[in-house]
Amino acid sequence: MNMKKKAFLILRNNSLFIKMFLIMVISIVAVSLLITFSSIRMSSDLFMDTFSISNTKALEQIETEFEDYSFAIVAATNEVQNNGTIKRVLTQTNATTLETYSSYHDISEQIERIYRTVESYDANMIVLGNNERLYNVNYSNWPVSWEALRNHPISQYTINRPNRLLYQYLPSTSFADEPMIVATKALMERSTGEIYGVLYFPIREAQLKQFYEGYTSEENEVMLVDAEGRIVSGNQEAMIGQEAPELMSLAKEVDDEGLQYKDVEVFGKDYMLMAQYLPTYNMYLVNLVDKDAVLANLVNTREILLISLGIVLLAVIVVFIISRRMTNSISRLVKQISTMAKHDFNVPVAETGGYEAKKIANAFNSMLNELQEYVDLAIQAQQKQRSAELMALQHQINPHFIYNTLASIKFMIQQGKKEQATDMIHALIALLQNALSNVEQTITVEQEIADLKNYVLINQSRYGDGIKVNFFISPDCLDCQLPKLILQPFIENAFFHAFNEKKQGFVQILVSQKGDNLLCEIVDNGDGMEIKGDHTKEDIKEKRHLFSGIGIRNVHERIQMLYGDQYGVDISSVKGEGTKVKVELPLQKVMV
């Protein structure tokens, strides 16, 4: 038990030193870790930027390979379309055996000549005619019959798009033992638009892979993705034929935005993605770089962490020695502060001890002086606020308003206007109930508008509806808070002072949000008035308000006392045109 007590006393007496030491140690460790990982990250970023540049060059080389192949296909296609012999044979019908043999010899000779354009790419060439003629240069490459090829989906797709050279993915089937990419073009008579055949250039995916195989590795993958998001070629054979719409979307984003690369997460890994759109193929050439695998050998993380650990240990030892010396004088200063009387800000501490302790004591004494001034100001502001609250509560309801309203109700009943009198009684009850029962400093906009509507109903019942009142309240403002009876004086002012010359008009109440503020506007088209100087000063004569007794100047002062000088009332008026009152308050929502 004695050991625990001694340990507690040691901790209590050295709490300042322990806290300072722990804070410094944590700060040193945090800074060291941040610097270490920041250095690793910067090195990684620099390496990845450099790596992306080299891979971009590689993508350009691969794109050139694909373009060369596409150019060869286009050249061969143009020769076939412009070859009269091929067209004649494919459109020939009802031929004799001799004519058929002669035609076969002629077209074979032409096709063999044209095939040399794409032969170096190990691509096959097939010509299909509507007259059941099929010429396959390399039957073993794609052993397909006229019926199977004529009804194949890629043929139908090509015929439906006769003006385009299309590249289509063909998965492995019974007559295609491995995936192929087939370039197809409908053969069409230009003058009539009649399609007389289809031209095919199938190339095995293995041959297509040779375009980029020299640029790939285990952590550096290259894929060819078609417009449907399907991987039609890639150095990872297991992924060929898989649907990857997310990969296609990312590739399109990189290409559309002109990004050099983009860090993405696909297939459950973090990759650096580069992409190039191949318009001829309507496909995306995608390069995925496995960042973790590439960066694994970039820096020796263990060595950097050991160096950082050594620096941290050395810094901790130095901090321990310095902080121990500093805390002795500061501990004495803490004892002086702890012995001060509670809330007695007039007793300064002695400025003794070391340099640091003297500076702290001096700053503490200066703070005490300023704090005393702030406390005095706060007390005065609180007293003013309480006085304003009491004044607002004491001058809410004018007895003459109640008397005149009841007299009007009595007169209505005598005239037999029972329903109108009932409505007026309900409005008066609700108005008095909300005004007298709610002693909170603020109410919601919804409640304030409800009170205004009751007030307007009473006045229109008494004086007629020559003055129309319209409410335009933004729905998102209904639960905002504002001081009670803050808008009513202006409505009352409009009713009894804005239409002395004009006997009819309108008053509009608008409540909306303006940034972080609540904006309330009361606009009338009444007589208007001339305003000189600041409308909150004596140059606007205070009117006698029959309901609440709260005047315009009182409203303005209440707002500024509650929220500050940047808020308040602004009045603009033109003689003969009307008056506009703007009340600006801070936006305060009801806490649920």
Cross-strand pairs, 195:
188
Check whether 79 has a pLDDT greater than 70.
yes
What does DSSP assign to residue 545?
A: P
**pLDDT by residue (tens digit) across 137-171?**
887 778 888 888 888 899 999 999 998 999 999 88
In this prediction, residues 287-297 reach a mean pLDDT of 76
| Cα gap 373→366, rounded to integer Å | 11
Check whether 183 has a pLDDT greater than 90.
yes
In this prediction, residues 542-567 reach a mean pLDDT of 69
Task: Give the pLDDT score at 540.
Answer: 43
More confident residue, 112 or 557: 112
Average pLDDT, the chain: 79
- Provide the 10 A C-beta neighbour count for residue 303: 9
CATH H-level superfamily of 83-209: PAS domain (3.30.450.20)
CA distances from 92 to 88, 145, 586 (A): 6, 19, 88
186 confidence band (pLDDT: 50, 70, 90): very high
Task: Give the pLDDT score at 538.
Answer: 39
Enumerate the domain spans of the chain: 83-209, 340-379, 395-586
In 474-543, DSSP assigns E strands to 481-483, 505-514, 517-524
Task: Give the pLDDT score at 390.
Answer: 44
Residue 173: phi and psi, rounded to 5, are -135, -170
Check whether 554 has a pLDDT greater than 70.
yes
Check whether 527 has a pLDDT greater than 70.
yes
Q: Which of 60-74, 313-327, 437-451 has the lowest mean pLDDT?
A: 313-327
What does DSSP assign to residue 501?
A: S
**pLDDT by residue (tens digit) across 25-69?**
777 777 777 777 776 666 666 666 666 677 788 888 888 999 999
**pLDDT by residue (tens digit) across 337-370?**
666 655 555 667 666 666 666 777 777 777 777 7
Residue 313: phi and psi, rounded to 5, are -60, -40
Task: Give the pLDDT score at 306.
Answer: 77
| Cα gap 212→205, rounded to integer Å | 12
Check whether 523 has a pLDDT greater than 90.
yes
10 confidence band (pLDDT: 50, 70, 90): low
Check whether 103 has a pLDDT greater than 50.
yes
- Maximum alpha-carbon separation in the chain: 127
Task: Give the pLDDT score at 131.
Answer: 83
More confident residue, 136 or 550: 136
In this prediction, residues 263-289 reach a mean pLDDT of 89
Cβ-contact 103, 92 below 8 angstroms: yes
Task: Give the pLDDT score at 392.
Answer: 55
CATH of domain 395-586: 3.30.565.10
Sequence-separated (6 or more) residues with CB below 8 Å from residue 379: none
182 confidence band (pLDDT: 50, 70, 90): very high
User: Based on the number of CB atoms within 10 Å of its own CB, is 211 exposed (0-12), middle (13-18) or buried (19 or more)?
Assistant: buried
